[in-house]
């Protein structure tokens, strides 16, 4: 099986010497495609940063097209995944079916105190990073009460 992590390291080193970065990004995308078709998946790096105002999740996936990211909130879970999407021809989808398969998938538990209605995502092109911002509510506004125990 193809060792994706070694290819990424070598590609990042090579990007320092080549002026046209799009050539290398296309090359890495093709390596990722071959790896995925061979049974592997893309393994993006994930970093967390917490401040008093928000929690940032940075997902670095240099070979993933930004339009292929999907983010959803389901109860207390944040689901982030990416699909490879390619048509097999230039005509309609009926004649040439669309090829779709997952590149990666991650599920994060949303901590207590995060305002789920204000979660947003930004793609940082210069870093090839998807940043998901989870705003933290003012902890004073959270409802806390002690539950009394009844005795029968």
Distance CA 27, CA 136 (A): 39
Q: What is the pLDDT of residue 66?
A: 84
Neighbours of 87 (CB within 10 A): 13
Please tell me whether residue 44 adopts helix, strand or coil conformation. Answer: coil
Which pTM was predicted?
0.61
Q: Is residue 103 part of a domain?
A: yes
Residue 152 has a pLDDT of 76
Residue 70 phi, psi dihedral angles, 5° rounding: -130, 135
pLDDT, tens digit (0-9, with 9 covering 90-100), for 96-152: 556 666 678 889 999 888 889 999 999 998 888 999 999 988 766 556 677 887 887
Domains in the chain, number: 1
In a domain, 31, yes or no: no
Q: Any idea which residue has 């940082």 for tokens?
A: 124
Residue 38, in any domain of the structure: no
Task: Identify the pLDDT of residue 7.
Answer: 57
* Domain hosting residue 90, numbered range: 44-141
In a domain, 6, yes or no: no
Could you give the angle at the alpha carbon of 29 between the alpha carbons of 28 and 31, nearest 5°? 65
Q: Is residue 4 part of a domain?
A: no
Structure tokens at 64: 């993933």
pLDDT digits (tens, 9 = 90+) for 45-102: 899 998 888 999 999 987 778 888 899 999 899 999 887 766 555 555 555 556 666 6
Kind plus residue range of the DSSP H or E element containing 80:
strand 77-87
Residue 26 in any domain: the answer is no
Write the CATH number for 105: 2.60.40.790
Residue 2: inside a domain:
no
Please report whether residue 8 resides in a domain: no
């Amino acid at each position: 099986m193809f060792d994706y992590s070694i290819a990424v390291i070598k590609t990042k080193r090579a990007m320092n010497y080549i002026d046209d970065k799009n050539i290398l990004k296309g090359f890495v995308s093709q390596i990722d495609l071959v790896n995925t078709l061979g049974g592997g998946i893309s393994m993006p790096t994930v970093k967390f940063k917490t401040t008093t105002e928000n929690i940032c999740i940075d997902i670095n996936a240099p070979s993933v097209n930004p339009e292929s990211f999907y983010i959803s909130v389901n109860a207390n879970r944040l689901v982030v995944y990416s699909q490879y999407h390619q048509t097999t021809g230039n005509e309609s989808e009926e004649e040439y079916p669309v090829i779709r398969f997952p590149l990666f998938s991650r599920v994060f538990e949303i901590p207590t105190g995060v305002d789920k209605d204000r979660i947003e995502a930004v793609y940082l092109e210069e870093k090839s990073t998807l940043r998901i911002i989870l705003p933290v509510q003012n902890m004073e506004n959270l409802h806390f009460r002690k539950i009394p125990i009844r005795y029968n």
